[in-house]
């Protein structure tokens, strides 16, 4: 069984020379951004295959832009939480030295999140008002700024960013950050994004509802002979159909490329597309002597295999999650609970 011993975990962090953190949606849950799977996850009520795949984009770009705009709205309201801050601090050599960890270790944060909150947690430390620089009296503000900028370069956002837009014209492919919310005028009136994305009700719910309605049909004395009278009414009478999708937005009204005027797409990585920075990520994972896995169900490839790779190559693995996840029994440490509480506590 994995250990829950915090002191032992700190000793492992202290001796690690190549630290990789793998983060998922649970890292940002305390910032108010819902996770994907689980009872209140985004994929519980929205159909991922209709929203985050190249095929869905080919079918209806306006549906995908509605989804991306909804995610932008949600993420624009969020700020980094205590878990983002704990990882930001751990990524700085001066802080590691202060905490008794190796200042000369290399630290990489690989995040599946598209919310940019890990980078923003580092940016926040740059502001003199944060008071952070006053804590490190032995390091000059210039050195701290340099450390923060280096740490930002080591935040690898493997599923891209919600703020990226990429030109779809093959000859252009211009990519830029666009922080507009709404991202274009046509998306200003945020339609009910669940319309048309909703998953079909499961059989049990549908049949149970149909039964209730069937039972309310007045019984004819001949019902026993005419069993068809007792047949459940058609589903359209149950009111359980998904809401009607809003009409598509004309392509010319969707976000356009600043360079060539063609349609742009949201820059996050969809299912079936290659994750970003993979050469660097594989190099870091292969080298890692410690992998800290935070708030991910570890079900989506290629990230799903990182912890196992580190173990196979002799490194240690520590998992921080609200609940048990696939493969965590093979980890060296398991800290079950909210990472925004447990990570700052465990890292000291
Ligand atoms: C807390 C907490 C708290 C909550 N504290 N914990 C069969 C075998 C192998 C692979 C495949 C296969 N079939 C298909 C594939 C490939 C596919 C895949 O893995 N599919 C699986 C369904 C099997 N993968 C891909 O397609 C990827 N690309 C790829 O494989 O490329 C190959 C390739 C190579 C070369 C050329 C071409 C192709 C791409 C995956 C892209 C994923 N994109 C999304 C879209 C986001 C859009 C948006 O945000 O709007 O990224 S999907 C979604 O899942 C999002 C996430 O980054 C990703 C991972 O989810 P995550 O972060 O783990 O979230 P959850 O919700 O699952 O888990 C949250 C966890 O937090 C839970 O465990 C909670 O308990 C915990 N938690 N609160 C601590 N406070
Ligand atoms: Zn272009």
Asked whether residue 92 is domain-assigned, the answer is yes
Q: Based on the domain organization, do 288 and 255 belong to the same domain?
A: no
If asked whether residues 167 and 261 sit together in one domain, one would say yes
In a domain, 207, yes or no: no
Whether the ω angle into residue 302 lies within 30 degrees of 0, i.e. cis, is: yes
Q: What is the pLDDT of residue 223?
A: 40
Is residue 113 domain-resident?
Answer: yes
6 domain residue, yes or no: yes
Asked whether residue 123 carries a pLDDT value surpassing 60, the answer given is yes
Q: Is the pLDDT of residue 329 over 90?
A: yes
Are 173 and 196 found together in one domain? yes
Note whether 245 and 258 are same-domain residues.
yes
% residues pLDDT > 90 (the chain): 76
Q: How many separate domains does the chain show?
A: 2
Residue 199 has a pLDDT of 67
Give the range of the structural domain holding residue 259, as residue numbers without chain letter. 40-77+163-201+237-267
Q: Is the pLDDT of residue 316 over 80?
A: yes
Q: Predicted confidence band at 49 (pLDDT cuts at 50, 70, 90)?
A: very high
Residue 227 in any domain: the answer is no
Q: Which of 86, 295, 306, 344 to mutate to test the pocket of ligand 1 (most atoms within 8 A of CB)?
A: 295
Pocket of ligand 1 (CB under 6 A): 24-26, 29-30, 35-38, 41, 52, 71, 112, 114, 159, 268-269, 271-275, 295-297, 299-302, 320-323, 325, 338-340
Ligand nearest to the CA of 258: 2
- Report yes or no on 102 lying in a domain: yes
| Predicted pLDDT of residue 2 | 98
Per-residue confidence (pLDDT) for residue 178, from 0 to 100: 98
Pairing of strands 316-321, 333-336: parallel
pLDDT band for position 126 (cuts 50, 70, 90):
confident
Measure the CA angle with vertex 73, ends 295 and 241; round to 5°: 85
How confident is the model at residue 137, as a pLDDT? Answer: 74
What CA–CA distances, in Å, run from 38 to 1, 41, 242, 269, 326? 24, 5, 21, 21, 14
- Structural domain includes residue 3: yes
CATH number for 283 = 3.40.50.1220
On whether both 16 and 51 belong to a single domain, the answer is no
Domain final position from 249, 267, 285:
267
Best of 36, 110, 345 to mutate for ligand 1, by most ligand atoms within 8 A of CB? 36
* Residue 240 · residue 206 · CB < 8 Å: yes
Q: What is the pLDDT of residue 242?
A: 57
Residues 11 and 139 in one domain: yes
What number does the ligand 1 atom closest to the CA of 339 have?
A: 5
pLDDT band, residue 136 (cuts 50/70/90)? confident
Whether residue 256 is contained in a domain is answered as yes
Q: Which among 18, 84, 159, 301 is annotated as catalytic? A: 159
Residues 20 and 121 placed together within one structural domain of the fold: yes
pLDDT of residue 161: 98
Q: What would the 3-class secondary structure string for the chain be?
A: CCECCHHHHHHHHHHCCEEEEEECHHHHHHHCCCCCCCCCCHHHHCCHHHCCCHHHHHHCHHHHHHHHHHHHHHHHCCCCCHHHHHHHHHCCHHHHHHHCCCCCCEEEEEECCCCCHHHHHHHHHHCHHHCHHHHCCCCCHHHHHHHHHHHHHCEEECCCCCCEEEECCCCCCCEEECCCCCCCHHHCCCCCCCCCCCCCCCHHHHHHHHHHHHHHCCCCCCCCCCHHHHCCCCHHHCCCCCCCCCCCCCHHHCCECCCCCCEEEECCCCCCCCCCCHHHHHHHHHHCCEEEEECCCCCCCCHHHHHHHHHHCCCEEEEEECCCCCCHHHCCEEEECCHHHHHHHHHC
Q: How do residues 14-32 score in pLDDT, each as one tens digit?
A: 999 999 999 999 999 999 9
Higher pLDDT, 234 or 113: 113
Q: Is 159 a catalytic residue?
A: yes
* Same domain assignment for residues 241 and 119: no
pLDDT band at 207 (very low <50, low <70, confident <90, very high): very low
Query: What's the pLDDT tens digit per position in 228-279?
Result: 334 444 444 444 555 677 889 999 999 999 999 999 999 999 999 999 999 9
pLDDT in tens, 62-89: 999 999 999 999 999 999 999 999 999 9
Looking at the structure, do residues 178 and 260 belong to the same domain, yes or no?
A: yes
Task: Identify whether residues 44 and 167 lie together within a single domain.
Answer: yes
Residues 182-199: tens digit of each pLDDT: 999 999 975 556 655 766
* Contacts (Cβ under 8 Å, ≥6 apart) of 265: 57, 61, 64, 165, 166, 168
Please say which residue of 216, 246, 267 terminates a domain: 267
Please report, for the domain that includes residue 73, its CATH number.
3.30.1600.10
Arithmetic mean of pLDDT, 315-339 = 97
Ligand nearest to the CA of 268: 1
Q: In terms of domains, do 260 and 284 share one?
A: no
**Residue-level pLDDT at 173:** 98
Asked whether residue 103 falls in the same domain as residue 151, the answer is yes
């Amino acid at each position: 069984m994995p250990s829950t011993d915090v002191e032992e975990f700190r000793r492992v962090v202290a001796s690690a020379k190549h630290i990789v953190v793998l983060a998922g949606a649970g890292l940002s849950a305390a910032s108010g951004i819902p996770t994907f799977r689980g009872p209140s996850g985004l994929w519980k009520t929205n159909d991922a295959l209709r929203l985050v795949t190249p095929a869905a984009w080919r079918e209806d770009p306006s549906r995908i832009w509605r989804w991306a705009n909804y995610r932008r709205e949600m993420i624009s309201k969020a700020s980094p939480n205590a878990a983002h801050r704990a990882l930001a601090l751990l990524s700085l050599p001066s802080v590691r030295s202060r905490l008794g960890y190796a200042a000369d270790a290399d630290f990489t944060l690989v995040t599946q999140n598209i919310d940019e909150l890990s980078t923003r947690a580092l940016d926040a430390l740059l502001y003199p008002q944060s008071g952070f620089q006053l804590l490190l009296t032995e390091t000059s503000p210039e050195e701290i700024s340099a450390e923060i900028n280096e740490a930002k370069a080591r935040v690898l956002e493997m599923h891209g960013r919600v703020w990226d837009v990429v030109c779809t014209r093959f000859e252009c492919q211009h990519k830029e950050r666009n922080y507009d919310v709404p991202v274009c005028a046509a998306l200003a009136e945020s339609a009910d994004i669940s319309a048309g994305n909703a998953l079909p009700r499961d059989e049990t719910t549908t049949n149970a509802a149909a039964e209730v309605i069937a039972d309310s049909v007045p019984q004819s004395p001949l019902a026993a002979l005419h069993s068809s009278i007792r047949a459940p009414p058609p589903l359209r009478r149950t009111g359980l159909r998904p809401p009607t999708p809003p009409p598509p937005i004309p392509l010319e009204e969707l976000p356009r490329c600043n360079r060539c005027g063609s349609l742009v797409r949201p820059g996050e990585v969809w299912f079936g597309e290659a994750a970003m920075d993979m050469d660097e990520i594989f190099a870091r994972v292969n080298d890692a002597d410690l992998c800290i896995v935070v708030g991910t169900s570890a079900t989506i490839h290629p990230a799903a295999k990182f912890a196992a790779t580190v173990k196979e190559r002799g490194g240690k693995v520590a998992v921080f999650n609200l609940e048990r996840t696939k493969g965590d029994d093979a980890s060296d440490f398991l800290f079950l609970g909210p990472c925004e509480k447990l990570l700052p506590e465990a890292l000291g």
